[in-house]
Amino acid sequence: MTDRAVAVVRPGALTTVQDAGRPGYAHLGVPRSGALDAPSARLVNRLVGNPADAAVLETTVDGCALRPRRAVTVAVGGAPCGVRVDGRPVAWGAPVRVPSGALLDIGRATWGVRTYAAFAGGIAVDPVLGSRSTDLLSGLGPPVLAAGTVLPLGIPGGPPSGAGGVVPWPGPAAALVLRIRTGPRADWFTPAALRALVSGGHRVSPASNRIGIRTEGPPLGRAREGELPSEGMVLGAVQVPPDGRPVVFLADHPTTGGYPVVAVVDGRDLPAAAQAVPGTPVRFVALS
């Protein structure tokens, strides 16, 4: 094993390797996967001089800890958290030099859900179907990080681009606002259900994951009985299972499904959905 690598000391609750994903394989039953908060992943890559689609680490809530086998430049962004090198606080949202053998500790998110760590050169695990992303639904890509995992790093490219500048990061929102286009199966629901969808009575469920944001709140009543034959599902689809509570599909969503899709979320709002903690109010806003 080359010394251009990092070893996992503390894997955290759910830490995966993610890049821009593997879109274009839905006809083979392969989800797109990729970083849920893609703008944050691109930004940490830019901070260390990587291409925008280089593979990064995506942590969930409680961070992770790693030890590089040689000195490397790292940037941590996305959900804010404390970052320490051998116990000393270092900058979040900026490039940091981590010496060989030092312990990089990415702490618990202070708001939001997913924190991203980019290493100069990117994480160089073997790609599968053109992507290094971990796909929790299909099992493609590298496994979820475990203690002792060693991740190879690529050769650094350009110089870090964040030094000496101010990098904008989005702040927390009091509510998750999701713009939607109704359909294709809105006719499967009663007029009262469609009104309830945009009433603001839903909130993010603790059962949410990389597959989708599950919601709690008023169930959406059906106008039609039975189930659909399986049909294609897209990123951002708002699928309604038998309990009537909408699920917003994220990057690891299944490529087909039989529950009706009442609406589709505008893709620009999905990064915010990836950072919404359980209990966050959800407002679905219909686009004209």
**Count: domains in the chain:** 2
Tokens linked to 251: 């990057």
Per-residue model confidence (pLDDT) at position 44: 96
User: Could you tell me if 205 and 246 lie in one domain?
Assistant: yes
The model's pTM: 0.94
Per-residue model confidence (pLDDT) at position 109: 97
Per-residue model confidence (pLDDT) at position 33: 96
In a domain, 159, yes or no: no
Tokens linked to 206: 């603790």
Per-residue model confidence (pLDDT) at position 2: 64
Alpha-helical runs (H) found in 198-260: none
Alpha-carbon dihedral angle through residues 214, 241, 233, 20, given to the nearest 10 degrees? 20
Residues of the chain with pLDDT under 70: 1-2, 162-168, 172
Residue 105 neighbours by CB under 8 Å, 6+ apart: 10, 63, 65, 82, 83, 84, 85, 87
In a domain, 157, yes or no: no
User: Could you tell me if 64 and 181 lie in one domain?
Assistant: no
User: Could you tell me if 252 and 145 lie in one domain?
Assistant: no
**Parallel, antiparallel or unpaired: strands 56-60 and 114-119:** antiparallel
How many residues comprise the chain?
288
Choose the final residue of a domain: 91, 117, 152.
152
Per-residue model confidence (pLDDT) at position 282: 97
Burial annotation 163-177 (CB, 10 A radius, 16+ → b, else e) = eeeeeeeeeeeeebe
User: Could you tell me if 145 and 62 lie in one domain?
Assistant: yes
In a domain, 61, yes or no: yes
Choose the final residue of a domain: 101, 120, 152.
152
User: Could you tell me if 17 and 145 lie in one domain?
Assistant: yes
In a domain, 209, yes or no: yes
Per-residue model confidence (pLDDT) at position 227: 82
In a domain, 62, yes or no: yes
User: Could you tell me if 89 and 183 lie in one domain?
Assistant: no
CATH of the domain at 233: 2.40.100.10
User: Could you tell me if 130 and 207 lie in one domain?
Assistant: no
Per-residue model confidence (pLDDT) at position 122: 98
Tokens 């929102």 belong to residue: 173
User: Could you tell me if 19 and 64 lie in one domain?
Assistant: yes
Q: Residue 174 in contact with residue 281, Cβ under 8 Å?
A: yes
Residue 226 neighbours by CB under 8 Å, 6+ apart: none
Q: Residue 48 in contact with residue 71, Cβ under 8 Å?
A: no
Q: Residue 217 in contact with residue 175, Cβ under 8 Å?
A: no
Q: Which amino acid is at 140?
A: L
The secondary structure of 67-136 as a DSSP string is EESS-EEEEEEES-EEEEETTEEE-SSSEEEE-TT--EEEEEESSSSEEEEEETT-B-PPPBTTB----T
User: Could you tell me if 142 and 214 lie in one domain?
Assistant: no
User: Could you tell me if 182 and 135 lie in one domain?
Assistant: no
Domain that holds residue 221: 176-286
In a domain, 232, yes or no: yes
In a domain, 184, yes or no: yes
In a domain, 164, yes or no: no
Residue 111 neighbours by CB under 8 Å, 6+ apart: 79, 80, 172, 275, 277
Tokens linked to 35: 């970083």
Choose the final residue of a domain: 137, 152, 167.
152
SS3 label, residue 274: helix
User: Could you tell me if 103 and 202 lie in one domain?
Assistant: no
User: Could you tell me if 18 and 143 lie in one domain?
Assistant: yes
